[in-house]
Amino acid sequence: MAFQKKRIAVMLFFTAFWFYLFYVMGTVELSLTVAVLEIGMGIAGAALIFTLLRCVITPLFFGRAFCSWVCWSPGLFDLVGLYRGKTNLKKNKWLYLKYAVAAIMIFFGVRSLLAGNASFPTREVSMMKDISVITLGLLLAFPLGHRNFCRYLCPPGSLIAYFSKWGLLKIEGDQTKCKQCGTCETNCPMGVSAKIYVQNEDRIYDRECILCGKCIDICPEHALKYSFKRDKNTW
């Protein structure tokens, strides 16, 4: 699992980077959102641009790779996944919960904008939010899987997931090599069944796939790989 360790190292780097930028330096002036504010876009414009970049434009090119390579909390979750954690996850109706959470947050955000009282959270509020997310994710790692927060609750992840189906970067398999053993499905932290897509000669366009590459690492037949192209069946 050398590849996974390298990926997690990248995620932990971003976790440390954002922590240092926002909490150690004690300022948010260097963030993209506030940089946009400084050129006169305002809170609504800044939020819109940041959301479009992270949750719409980036997934159209790189799918949900943001969730497994850049996001500044799950690196700690994946450390748990290297050693223990629930496997053989199945899809269930609770996967739609993150979309409901996102809808509620968007509703209150728009209402605040219309009321004219929208503002950025303080450093203390942001820190408490990040600590809560990490704590909740780690506490539920063993009963629900180390990526349970990404599966069920993450609001930005729901938007990224929606647009990732049309992403150019995906995982594909070689049907001639695949033995349909199910090792990929059993060990996927998001409960995606790669073997079904390989059997149908499709790339994996499941919205729950975060492109972590664990299935690539663990496939005994080396039948899976990353590819970057347009899919006719999803566009």
Rounded to whole angstroms, how far apart are CA atoms 7 and 78? 10
Considering the domain boundaries, does residue 179 fall inside one? yes
Q: In this structure, are 137 and 175 located in the same domain?
A: no
Considering the domain boundaries, does residue 59 fall inside one? yes
Counting the structural domains of the chain, the total is 2
Considering the domain boundaries, does residue 75 fall inside one? yes
pTM recorded for the entire structure: 0.84
Considering the domain boundaries, does residue 235 fall inside one? no
Q: In this structure, are 94 and 126 located in the same domain?
A: yes
For the segment 154-164, the average pLDDT, to the nearest whole number, is 92
Rounded to whole angstroms, how far apart are CA atoms 136 and 139? 5
Considering the chain, what percentage of its residues have pLDDT values greater than 90? 41
Q: What is the CATH number of the domain that holds 179?
A: 3.30.70.20
Q: In this structure, are 115 and 154 located in the same domain?
A: yes
pLDDT digits (tens, 9 = 90+) for 125-142: 777 888 888 888 888 888
Considering the domain boundaries, does residue 234 fall inside one? no
| Domain coverage including residue 183 | 170-228
Buried b (16+ CB within 10 A) or exposed e, 175-185: eeebeeeebbb
Q: In this structure, are 100 and 179 located in the same domain?
A: no
Residue 174 has pLDDT above 70, yes or no: yes
Q: In this structure, are 204 and 122 located in the same domain?
A: no
Q: In this structure, are 17 and 129 located in the same domain?
A: yes
pLDDT at 72: 79
Of 139, 162, 185, the position where a domain reaches its end is 162
pLDDT digits (tens, 9 = 90+) for 184-200: 998 899 999 999 999 99
Q: In this structure, are 36 and 125 located in the same domain?
A: yes
For residue 125, give Cα distances in angstroms to 106, 112, 132, 143, 183. 18, 17, 11, 28, 41
